[in-house]
Chain A
Amino acid sequence: AQSVTQLDSHVSVSEGTPVLLRCNYSSSYSPSLFWYVQHPNKGLQLLLKYTSAATLVKGINGFEAEFKKSETSFHLTKPSAHMSDAAEYFCVVSPNTGNQFYFGTGTSLTVIP
């Protein structure tokens, strides 16, 4: 069975400080993992994707995520938050069979000036 758990529904950081959005997954197969961002009243945009190559994945806008198989985690990080990062972030797992995608419940990131 596949599932995704985003451990924090809301995260608040000050501008210029690091961002950490946590994601744990379970998958019966070697999965692909994704982070998507959704700005208010917009569709989802792909931030980054892991597909069993390098465990540290770099994405757009300075975000990166590290795949840790032993911890079944795929946390999203950014060294320095910007006001424009305020959005909803979704962790997604795809088991690489059947072309199916499973979404976490999302983490709302607030950036305080």
Chain B
Amino acid sequence: NAGVMQNPRHLVRRRGQEARLRCSPMKGHSHVYWYRQLPEEGLKFMVYLQKENIIDESGMPKERFSAEFPKEGPSILRIQQVVRGDSAAYFCASSLTGEKLFFGSGTQLSVL
């Protein structure tokens, strides 16, 4: 049973481009969470999704950021028109019942 898979591991974008981060949860897990980690800071909650539904997006910036978890396929965190301040590690976690989280290895986004 593979763990939570995130890709790409590293993503480099120029300012103004779009970034797409993918997360495949553990098999059977229907809860997906996205977190952002800035250097020297803890994890900041962004969004919590279940299949085809956004449950809590209170941590998502109001503009440029969106997330989805379709019925088929991975969860996608999309950042439009990236800026340097978006550079961070983005972690995805999944859960079977919402009891505990299993994390992926993260995507390091660098904006030039």
By the criterion of a CB under 8 Å from any partner CB, how many residues of chain B are at the interface? Answer: 25
A43 to B42, CA, bound (A): 13
B interface: dominant SS? strand
Q: Is the CB of A44 within 8 A of B42?
A: no
Task: Choose the segment among B12-20, B66-74, B76-84, B99-107 that binds chain A (4+ C-beta atoms closer than 8 Å).
Answer: B99-107
Min CB gap A94→B, angstroms: 8
A5 to B103, CA, bound (A): 21
Q: Is the CB of B42 within 8 A of A32?
A: no
A interface: dominant SS? strand
Quick check: is B43 within 8 A (CB to CB) of the other chain? yes
Q: Which chain B residues lie closer than 8 Å to A99 at the CB level?
A: 31, 48, 55, 95, 98
Q: Which chain B residues lie closer than 8 Å to A98 at the CB level?
A: 55-56
Min CB gap A108→B, angstroms: 9
Min CB gap B27→A, angstroms: 17
When A34-B100, A43-B103, A46-B100 are in contact, do A101 and B33 touch as well, CB less than 8 Å? Answer: yes
Residue of B nearest to A42 (CB): B105
Query: Quick one: which of B43, B48, B56, B104 contacts A90, CB cutoff 8 A?
Result: B43
Q: Is the CB of A104 within 8 A of B42?
A: yes
Interface members, chain B 1-38 (any A CB < 8 Å) = 4, 6, 31, 33, 35
A99 to B55, CA, bound (A): 10
Q: Is the CB of A43 within 8 A of B31?
A: no
A28 to B32, CA, bound (A): 24
A104 to B35, CA, bound (A): 13
Quick check: is B41 within 8 A (CB to CB) of the other chain? yes
A51 to B98, CA, bound (A): 13
Chain B residues engaging chain A, CB cutoff 8 angstroms: 4, 6, 31, 33, 35, 41-45, 48, 55-56, 91, 93, 95, 98-106
Chain A residues engaging chain B, CB cutoff 8 angstroms: 32, 34, 36, 42-46, 49, 51, 90, 92, 94, 98-106
Q: A36-B101, A43-B91, A45-B103 are in contact. List 7 more A-B contacts (CB 8 A).
A: A34-B100, A43-B6, A99-B48, A99-B55, A100-B56, A101-B33, A106-B43
